[in-house]
Structures are given as C-alpha cells and as structure tokens.
Amino acid sequence: MAEPPTDTLPADDPKGFVIERASGEKVASQIARAIVRDIVQRGLSEGASLPPEPAMLEQYRVGRPTLREALRILEVNGLITIKPGRSGGPKVRRSDTSNLASQLSLHFMSRRVTYADVSSARRSIEPTLARLAALNATEAERQQLAELIHRTDQPWPRGSDLLAESLAFHRLVAVISHEPVLGPLSVSLQFILNPRRSEQEHSRTWKQLTSEHIPLGEAIIRGDAEQAEQLMAEHMSHYPPVKAHEEILDWQ
C-alpha cells in the first residue's frame, strides 16, 4: 500500500540532485524547477513546509547563495512564501492568476504588446472557454453559475461594481471550462486589462454587457455548447476598447 503524501519535502533523497552544467541554464533555475517537481510529486498542499536550509543544501548539493536564489525565483513567481525567523522558512503557496498576469505583463511589455493585442487575444479565447464550460461543467458548477446570473438579473443598486461582476462571470466560465491552459490565461488577460477600463465612462455599455451574461450563462447551464460559443463571440465583440488601447502595456 502506497504511503500518503507528507507535509514536507523529503530531506534524505539518496539519489540527490544532479546539476546539468552542460545545459547552459543557471543552476538556481534548475534547482527551482527541481523543488517544484518535488512539490508536485509529493502532492504537497498550500502551507506545507519545505525542509530547513541545511537539509536542502545537502539534498541539492549547492551553496547557500545558489539555493537562496532558487527560492527567490519561486517566491517572485508566487509558488512559495518565505517567512523570516526561527519559526519561519519556505512554505508552499498555490500560485494564482494574478501572479501569472504579472509575469505575462512583464513579458508582453518587453515585446511591445499593446492593450489592443491583449483584447484581441481575449476575444479569441473566450468563445472556446464558453463551449468547453457547456460541455464540462459539473452539476454543482452549473448551479453556481445559475446563482451568479440570477444575481445579474436583479435591479442593480446604485454604486454597484459592474466591472467586478463582469470579471466574476468570465472567471467562473474559465474555471468551469476545466481547460488548464486557456482558462488561467484568459483570467490573467482580464487582470491585465481591468485597470484600464472605466465603468463610469461606459455605464450603459457595462449594464448591457452584464445583461448579456444571462442568455450566455443559460446556454452553458443547459449544455448547449454551440450556442454558448456563438453568444460569447457576440458578447466579446461588444466590449468597448480600453483606455489608451494602442499603448504598449505597463508591467503590473
């Protein structure tokens, strides 16, 4: 019978870690990847502790500066947290789409990608996610979507955050699509674009956009993949351009 995963990485791996010096890749990057591989293979959950520094130095056979650089790489990418002090140390953190958005925006900025380019990518991705959501959503997820669009169908109180409602709807569609690459990517693109949108400038447009979530959500709930895809394509074509949409995006 296989042993259940523990809450820490093994500190006594007899095989140790072999540095691929001929690859040309920085040693710290190789170690960062090895740590993530160990986390995944052990099935560690958020908050699980990594071994203490002396044990990791022995396991990965590197010096303290290199190990700390590897941990810093993981921390910057939102994969671990590092708490200082005797009771601290590195702990597993589940990366979210805001981390991905930050890394993507830095990469896009260096490649002179504009906000218009990001908007175009979203228009291409979202219909596919709607179709997959109609095909793949569980009954519990369909119920969750039904509750969200029921809230959308109610009169909006003054001061309602329609941008947040729009983000919530599209984020849920991405999640229930169960598409492991396009789903997180789409939500990350939303995070990049959202600060450039203005609810006040387009209040009528945003009310119309949120109202379109209702027939779209209903198509997903009843499993009509073709209509869900078509309605999402039409919905995305109605989005107003973001402010300064031809500008190269900034790192967030």
Identical fold for domains 21-92 and 98-237, yes or no, is no
Domain 98-237 indexed as CATH 1.20.120.530: yes
Share of the chain above pLDDT 70, in %: 85
**C-alpha span between 215 and 204 (Å, rounded):** 18
Domain 21-92 indexed as CATH 3.90.550.10: no
Whether the full predicted model's pTM is greater than 0.85, yes or no, is no
**How many Cβ atoms from other residues are within 10 Å of residue 128's Cβ?**
17
Secondary structure element (H or E) that encloses residue 88, with its range: none
The chain-wide mean pLDDT, for the chain, equals 85
The two three-digit tokens of residue 89, written as one number: 């140390």
Give pLDDT tens digits for 105-150. 989 999 999 999 999 999 999 999 999 999 999 999 999 999 999 8
Give pLDDT tens digits for 72-88. 999 988 899 998 877 77
Q: Which sequence spans correspond to the domains of the chain? A: 21-92, 98-237
Residue 111's identity, in one-letter code, is R
Do the beta carbons of residue 159 and residue 250 sit within 8 Å?
no
**How many Cβ atoms from other residues are within 10 Å of residue 91's Cβ?**
17
